[in-house]
Amino acid sequence: MADRAPAFPALVPRPLAVAPGRGVFELGRTARIVVRDGEARGVARHLAELLRPATGFRLPTPAGRGESTDGDVVLGLRQGERALGDEGYRLTVEPAGVTLAARTPAGLFRGVQTLRQLLPAAVDAPARQRGPWNVPAVTIHDRPRFAWRGMMLDVGRHFFAVAEVERLVDLLALYKLNRLHLHLTDDQGWRLAVRSRPRLTRVGAQTAVGGGPGGHYTQRDYRHIVAYAAERFVEIVPEIDMPGHVNAAQSAYGELACGGVAPAPYTGIEVGFSSLCIRKEETYGFVDDVLGEVAALTPGRYLHIGGDEALSTDLDDYRFFVQRVQRVVRAHGKRMLGWEEIARAPIRRSTLVQHWKEPELARRAVAAGARLVLSPATRAYLDMKYTRDSELGLQWAGTTSVRRAYDWDPATLIDGVSERDVVGVEAALWTETISTRAGLDHLAFPRLLGIAEIGWSPAEGRSWREYRARLAAHGPRLDALGVGYARARGVAWPAPEPRAGVAIRPERNVSPANRVG
């Protein structure tokens, strides 16, 4: 895939190695998705479900040692192939059939996304489309550069319903992202039910930025999101932001404030004014109850304790708090993760630190032996405006074009921080200025694709010139999926095509989301 080559294959993220073959595979009406190992059955079913609506094919998923025949897609696990790693795969497309091999179901799942992206974009439409469903022959070897490839969604400032979150999980999966960090609590709202402290949501969830109605996830809702994500090999990372950003919690339980008086709900967008009462023992009963329930609900390995912008917490108190909470997280069997400010406190080597602004704090974390998740606000904050005249978004870290979100490298971002200090990258979508799917789509897409590629693809060979041609080819796919991405300048987006067989009047092809941007 040299710079001058056409954007084939238009895969995002760019795979490690692509070798074009001879001829074309056509996915036909009688194709089957044959599974060689029971463990891979779920992935085969998932692939069939992805392809059925647009193709209209049955795509049965027979298990067992069954022979495959011409025209089938075959999924198999090869535990022995160490070179494929935990998420890598090898995809072979020949005129006679498709073979996908990986060491793990997760690897097969990542490979399925590649096959999906090799098919015409219309395969991602929700209703029957005209074929043919051709894939040029190719062999792809692939594995990720970083283990942590995430996105954060702030459901505290504005609440996003379960269906919206799960739709986002589907989109993360398409681009091989594997973490969804949910910022569940902030000054403006507490969004997860906690059985031992029912007022957190009964009172603390009723507000949002701008005074909207708020909302929250029941524990059942949250479990549903976790399971939905797990089926797509996405790990949910829950964040309970402390000791700052706690106005909603204190509005429900006044004893969490040093003065013991519950503040009024907050619907503005200032930060840094609230703090838990650090030297009160009750505070730690609260922390233990909340983190205990969140840990029990979360099969993932990490609990994010926030720790950012605790501007009204005294520094010694802050250090004391972080150390104490670190013990609570461990006692509940999880690894702690926090925003970069936690590097001001003594932290364990196993703690992860999320860089967003200060290089010095990233260096301090590394000096303590901890590793970093990189979310530089000037690159990976999806809530920054694209340009000065963007309607949505903030601007405190500058404007972030599609190019700027793409054109950086984790190994050279921060002096004194090298590749081995970095577990990966995470895009962050704060929601002060958005409350709808359309707003989310507009800010996240297409910039999220760039972050996904930075997390997955090797640095060598990545260039904006080559990437933007591949990115353009994702416009029709995002259109087919109903994603209202920003058709930002600098990318030669193909004209949106009316969907064959769906409707004649163009208005009916355009979801409300597409009208933004």
Tell which residue, 420, 430, 307, 330, has the closest CA to residue 377. 430
SS (HEC) of 437-491: HHHHHHHHCCHHHHHHHHHHCCCCCCCHHHHHHHHHHHHHHHHHCCCCCCCCCCC
Residue 356 binding ligand TNX, by CB under 6 A = yes
Catalytic residue among 87, 309, 340, 453: 309
Nearer to ligand TNX, 92 or 354 (CB): 354
* Interface with ligand TNX: number of residues (CB under 6 A): 10
Angstrom distance (rounded) from CA 461 to CA 467:
10
Angstrom distance (rounded) from CA 424 to CA 304:
15
CB of 431 to ligand TNX, least distance (A): 8
Count Cβ atoms below 10 Å from residue 492 Cβ, excluding itself: 11
**Residue 13, preceding bond cis, omega within 30 degrees?**
yes
Q: Contacts with ligand TNX in 376-405 (CB under 6 A)?
A: 381, 383, 394
Nearer to ligand TNX, 200 or 310 (CB): 310
CB of 453 to ligand TNX, least distance (A): 22
Nearer to ligand TNX, 413 or 473 (CB): 413
Q: Contacts with ligand TNX in 225-254 (CB under 6 A)?
A: none
Nearer to ligand TNX, 181 or 232 (CB): 181
Residues 6 or more apart whose CB falls under 8 angstroms from that of 42 comprise 105, 231
Nearer to ligand TNX, 87 or 308 (CB): 308
CB of 178 to ligand TNX, least distance (A): 21
Locus of tokens 């999926």: 481
Pattern 432-471, ligand TNX, x by CB under 6 A: x---------------------------------------
Nearer to ligand TNX, 75 or 151 (CB): 151
SS (HEC) of 484-510: CCCCCCCCCCCCCCCCCCCCCCHHHHC
Nearer to ligand TNX, 7 or 394 (CB): 394
Count Cβ atoms below 10 Å from residue 368 Cβ, excluding itself: 16
Distance of CA 94 to the CA centre of its chain: 32
C-beta of residue 126 within 8 angstroms of C-beta of residue 482: yes
Nearer to ligand TNX, 27 or 384 (CB): 384
Q: How far apart are the first and last CA of the chain?
A: 30
What dihedral do alpha carbons 431, 432, 435, 437 form, nearest 10°? -40
Q: Contacts with ligand TNX in 300-319 (CB under 6 A)?
A: 308-309
DSSP state string for 177-207: --EEEEE-EETTEE-B--TT-THHHHTTTS-
Angstrom distance (rounded) from CA 231 to CA 240:
24
CB of 368 to ligand TNX, least distance (A): 19
497 as an active site residue: the answer is no
Locus of tokens 């549903």: 224
CB of 380 to ligand TNX, least distance (A): 10
Residue 426 binding ligand TNX, by CB under 6 A = no
CB of 338 to ligand TNX, least distance (A): 9
CB of 10 to ligand TNX, least distance (A): 31
Binding-site member from 16, 137, 230, 271 for ligand TNX (CB under 6 A):
271
The conformational region for residue 11 under phi > 0 = left, psi -120 to 50 = alpha, else beta, is beta
At 98 the three-state DSSP class reads strand
122 backbone dihedrals φ, ψ, rounded to 5° = -60, -15
Q: Contacts with ligand TNX in 323-342 (CB under 6 A)?
A: 339
CB of 127 to ligand TNX, least distance (A): 38
Return the active site residues.
309
Which residues bind to ligand TNX, rule: CB under 6 A? 271, 308-309, 339, 356, 381, 383, 394, 430, 432
